[in-house]
Amino acid sequence: MYIRNLTTVKTIFERDNREELIARIKALDETNTVQWGKMNLYQMLRHNTYWNGWILGKDGHTYKQEFLGKIFGKMALRSMIKDEKPMDKNIPTSSQFKVKTYEGDIRSEKAMWVSLLEEYQQFYNPAFIHDFFGKMTREQIGILVYKHTDHHLRQFGG
């Protein structure tokens, strides 16, 4: 079964992995250019601060799995987190995570993202339900958060 393989996959809950991602975020600046996708640097940062707030249970989010997720979600999740392979480029995101504002304070968004990642040290959000994947274990959440963060850092050469 796939669970056995998850012990070697990176997770946000491991301090060294979290620190590595935080260092990569701190190194981002206006010279980083998009490698794929339609977001600019500010939009990517804002997307991630909102997304991590959602996972962590900030701002009173409502959690509900979409219909298609109920059919395909668990299979897609297993495929995505089964090994160290990075997330694919240009994967779709749900509309709630699309940032329509093109400009903002890059420095403050980076600081907020770092702060949110540090909160995973004490992660506790039993109400969390992913909009596509559904209810997830702590282990699955840790891997998904690591891979999502890595995905967007690679998107901007970080």
Q: What is the pLDDT of residues 3-46, one digit of tens each?
A: 445 567 999 999 999 999 999 999 999 999 999 999 999 999 99
Helix (H), strand (E) at residue 27: helix 15-27
Measured over the CA atoms of residue 10, residue 55, residue 123 and residue 79, the dihedral's sign is negative
What pLDDT shows up at residue 3? Answer: 46
What pLDDT shows up at residue 5? Answer: 54
The answer to whether 54 and 61 are in contact (CB under 8 A) is yes
Mean pLDDT of the chain: 92
Residue 134's beta-bridge partner residues? 130
φ/ψ of 22, rounded to 5, equals: -60, -40
The answer to whether 96 and 131 are in contact (CB under 8 A) is yes
Domain boundaries, the chain: 8-155
Instruction: Give CA–CA dist 43/109, Å, rounded.
Output: 10
What pLDDT shows up at residue 98? Answer: 83
Pick 63 or 94 by higher pLDDT: 63
User: What is the number of alpha carbons within 13 Å of residue 26 lying toward its C-beta?
Assistant: 9
Judged against a pLDDT cut of 60, whether residue 92 lies above it is answered with yes
pTM value? 0.92
Q: What is the pLDDT of residues 38-59, one digit of tens each?
A: 999 999 999 999 999 999 999 8
Query: Which distant-in-sequence residues (6+ apart) come within 8 Å of 106 by Cβ?
Result: 28, 29, 30, 41, 42, 45
Quick one: average pLDDT of 105-117? 97
